[in-house]
């Protein structure tokens, strides 16, 4: 499957506060040609992903390729890592969303490898997971194993939907700053989603605005150094209101990136999103937000 592309959906990075409701112009965007195309694409991808789902049920094994070095790549790949050639060696762990598996990252995984990242793998958590904190602890154990296998001290984490919230919880509440070089979230309900009121399961209740988990994430997080990039869309059918996909926290180095006309399931497949993720992991995107407090040295 090839990555999707739409010239009208290029990401726009910003750190300014968003007003209540949808992003500026989102109501107009719902009737634009790009939004219509995005909606049709989303429906097609949901069907295609349903066919791919069985292929992602088995846990993916990390297969490092020591031959993949930026200096041996085409000029376009070498340019991506010109500022920091070692950035390509940092492992990348992809974390899926609710009732999903690593098949959602089929395009992104291949795209990151083609762009020069040598260690890219996905992590499946149990579809019966009932608690964000439990998933976050399991993720932390997995990140530690990846570091042991690759010999790296830190890893990049990219989380789609609930996967991004699990990763953020580990980062803020369980000492995940020790492992995470950076965190990128795609369509993650950082401020909850109104749709969570329609599903009574214990896990989905934690995604309701104002839930205990979200209140914990709003608490002070001094000392967290890991930069966070939250990519969200004005056409997200799952995160409502769509601005709830922003991550706004005074103690985190956050960069919020708005894409237009890209549906919730389409985010990991879209070329501009894959490009943005690759550029972020390569260190080409500056982060705003409040500078974190320095760690205390014993």
State residue 16's pLDDT score. Answer: 44
* Higher pLDDT, residue 166 or 297: 166
In the chain, where are the structural domains located?
82-281
140 pLDDT above the threshold of 80 = yes
State residue 85's pLDDT score. Answer: 84
State residue 78's pLDDT score. Answer: 79
Concatenated DSSP letters of 165-201: HHHHHHHHHS-GGGTEEEEEEES--TT--GGGGG--S
Considering the segment(s) 82-281 as one domain, its CATH architecture is 3-Layer(aba) Sandwich (3.40)
Tell me the β-bridge partners of 93: 121, 157
State residue 86's pLDDT score. Answer: 87
State residue 48's pLDDT score. Answer: 59
Q: If we measure between CA atoms, which residue out of 92, 244, 107 comes closest to residue 183?
A: 92
């Amino acid at each position: 499957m090839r990555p999707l592309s739409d010239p009208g959906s290029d990401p726009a990075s910003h750190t300014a506060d968003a007003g209540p409701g949808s992003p500026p112009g989102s109501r107009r965007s719902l009737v634009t040609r790009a939004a219509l195309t995005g909606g049709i694409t989303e429906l097609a991808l949901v069907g295609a992903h349903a066919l791919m789902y069985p292929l992602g049920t088995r846990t993916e094994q990390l297969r490092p390729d020591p031959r993949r070095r930026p200096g041996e790549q085409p000029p376009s790949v070498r340019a991506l890592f010109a500022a920091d050639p070692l950035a390509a060696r940092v492992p990348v762990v992809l974390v899926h969303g609710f009732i999903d598996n690593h098949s959602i990252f089929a395009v992104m995984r291949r795209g990151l490898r083609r762009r020069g990242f040598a260690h890219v793998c996905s992590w499946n958590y149990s579809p019966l997971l009932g608690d964000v904190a439990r998933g976050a602890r399991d993720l932390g154990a997995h990140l530690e194993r990846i570091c042991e296998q690759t010999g790296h001290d830190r890893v990049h984490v990219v989380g789609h939907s609930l996967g991004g919230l699990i990763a953020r919880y580990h980062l803020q509440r369980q000492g995940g700053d020790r492992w995470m070089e950076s965190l990128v979230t795609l369509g993650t309900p950082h401020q909850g989603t109104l749709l969570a009121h329609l599903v009574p399961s214990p896990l989905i209740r934690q995604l309701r605005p104002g839930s205990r988990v979200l209140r914990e994430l709003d608490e002070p997080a001094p000392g967290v150094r890991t930069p966070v990039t939250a990519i969200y869309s004005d056409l997200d059918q799952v995160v409502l209101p769509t601005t709830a996909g922003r991550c706004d926290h005074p103690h985190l180095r956050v960069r919020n990136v708005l894409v237009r006309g890209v549906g919730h399931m389409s985010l990991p497949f879209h070329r501009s999103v894959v490009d943005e993720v690759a550029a972020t992991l390569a260190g080409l995107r500056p982060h705003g937000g409040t500078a974190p407090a320095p760690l205390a040295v014993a």
